Amino acid sequence: MANFGIYGRSRQLLLAIGQQLAGTSDTTVKIQALHSYGNALRASGDLVGSQDILRQGLELAEALNAVNQLSPLLLSLGNTAADRQNTIDARYYFEQAERTATNTEARLDAQLNRLRLAAERGDRAALTQLAPQIQQQLAQLPPSRPTVYAAVNLASTLDASPSVLPPQTLAQTLARAVQAARELGDATAEAYALEQLGQLYVDQGQTGEGIELLQQSLTLGRTLQAEPIVSQSAWSLGRSLKQAGRNQAAIAAYREAINALQALRSDLVGINQEVQLSFRESVEPVYRQLVGLLLDSDPDQAALAEVRELIEALQLAELDDFFRDACLDAQPRQIDEIDTRAAVLYSILLSDRLAVIVSAAGQPLSYYAVSVPQIQAEQTFRSFLAAIHPASDNTEQLRLAQQVYDWLIRPAATAGALQGRETLVFVLDGILQRLPVAALHDGQQYLIENMPSPSHPDCASCRRRR
């Protein structure tokens, strides 16, 4: 199951196996079981447990001189250390994994992980040293599934560092990977390679050719019923279509990506590392970018209702990511269905604006946005959080309390959208969840003096089955 990326479910089986490992004789089978168990623990978020189990496996492999097991175990230990933000240990383990590798593919895997770590640290010297080495090895190796994925991972890692390798060289590497996948009859590997190649074409200004390649990747993903492929390819296609000015087609692609992500919820936190989705990098932006597209023109009620659902779905996905588990038993209900005298303010922070949707029973949805760069807005919110400290200057605290009120609430109050409402409910996004909304000030009084204002960072009210 782990080979198919179903770590969430495989861990439940491995947990039962793990309880029996202590009494098992020391064999290579036990090493493999410890390795799988350690990987499952890491995928589920238990990094300390993962490290302990993997170290047990490594010690046993060294004691039994199981040389073929050393590099894979060291690689997994490096990934666990990287997840723990321990870059020194991660780099050590990856270097040892490369040193102990018994074949070219294992050595290449270790180098790719070193490259990824260098990219995350912004170590350009390491990037410029490793990337050409990896590319040259790929050019010399015979076609195989691991080499196709290595090419995909190389391109993905260098997305944020496009000048490390010439685009033409990277395109040739990916084109060979696509051809190799076709020769091997591996449609999954082909789809991932096509997605990376298509994105590279778009980034280099060849938008039409890139979109065609992305559509091929998406078609393969649909045929395979492979949600990880569909989510990634549809997202890349949506971004590219938006760049080409084809907004309606882009919206359709984004919707398909989100539908695939929601289908993946139960194992989103534990997808196989070859195709692993980082929430902050590959999940959250899909929701935010679709919200931005839907709100770019004058949105109608259907668009506003969809945006509200997207905000709720994003926050549920954040909870899934935080708890490393999907809230499969959640039964969402709109808050204004529960309290008909409440007004609900749904906020979402986009790259160029703070958007707010107001929902109140018996009233159409309303929408307003404040044009402010995300970085500036986040800095203002952080300043407000710092200013509410008792030792802070009261004048500055009041100024910031009014500033945030002007952004978040005043447009609704001025439009009369809050009139006759006994309670304000805030569905807050990101850093906004930390704001004490009761301390916001309208220039005359604090919000807490005017009306109750519970904050619901987990969006729609959810009842859980017992």
| Sequence-distant (≥ 6) Cβ neighbours of residue 53 within 8 angstroms | 18, 34, 37, 38, 41
Write down the pTM of the prediction: 0.83
Q: Which of 205, 207, 141 is nearest to 176 (CA)?
A: 141
Is 45 exposed, middle or buried, given 0-12, 13-18 or 19+ CB atoms closer than 10 A? middle
Q: What number of H helices and E strands is found in the chain?
A: 20, 6
Alpha carbon distances (Å) from 255 to 230, 239, 261, 290: 11, 12, 10, 8
Query: Which 3 state secondary structure label does DSSP give 453?
Result: coil
pLDDT digits (tens, 9 = 90+) for 193-249: 999 999 999 999 999 999 999 999 999 999 999 999 999 999 999 999 999 999 999
* Two structure tokens written together for 8: 């969430």
Cβ pair 174, 200 in contact under 8 A: yes
Find the farthest-apart pair of alpha carbons in the chain and give their distance in angstroms, rounded: 76
Determine the pLDDT at residue 17: 62
* Two structure tokens written together for 298: 């004058």
Q: Quick one: pLDDT band at residue 300, thresholds 50, 70, 90?
A: very high
Q: What is the DSSP track for 65-110?
A: T-HHHHHHHHHHHHHHHHHTT-HHHHHHHHHHHHHH-SSHHHHHHH
Alpha carbon distances (Å) from 361 to 66, 126, 344, 348, 420: 66, 57, 9, 21, 11
How many CA atoms, within 13 angstroms, populate the side-chain half-sphere of residue 332? 15
Task: Return the H-helix or E-strand segment holding 39.
Answer: helix 28-43
Cβ pair 417, 363 in contact under 8 A: yes
How far is Cα 186 from Cα 417, in angstroms, rounded to an integer? 56
* Two structure tokens written together for 200: 């590279």
Residue 276 bridge partners (DSSP):
none
Look at 61 and 4; give whichever has higher pLDDT: 61
Q: What is the DSSP track for 124-163?
A: HHHHHHHHHHHHHHHHHSPP-HHHHHHHHHHHHHGGG-TT
Alpha carbon distances (Å) from 406 to 350, 401, 413, 427: 17, 9, 10, 17
Does the pLDDT of residue 119 top 50, yes or no? Answer: yes
Cβ pair 96, 77 in contact under 8 A: no
Give the mean model confidence (pLDDT) for residues 97-121.
Answer: 94
Q: Quick one: pLDDT band at residue 41, thresholds 50, 70, 90?
A: confident
Sign of CA dihedral 307, 311, 260, 205: positive
Residue 443 DSSP symbol: S
pLDDT digits (tens, 9 = 90+) for 252-261: 999 999 999 8
How many CA atoms, within 13 angstroms, populate the side-chain half-sphere of residue 298? 0
Cβ pair 40, 7 in contact under 8 A: yes
> Which domains, ranges and CATH numbers included, belong to the chain?
1-102 (1.25.40.10), 330-464 (3.30.420)
pLDDT digits (tens, 9 = 90+) for 69-93: 999 999 999 999 999 999 999 999 9
What residue type is 320 in one-letter code? D
pLDDT digits (tens, 9 = 90+) for 364-403: 999 999 999 999 999 999 999 999 887 777 889 999 999 9
What residue type is 367 in one-letter code? Y
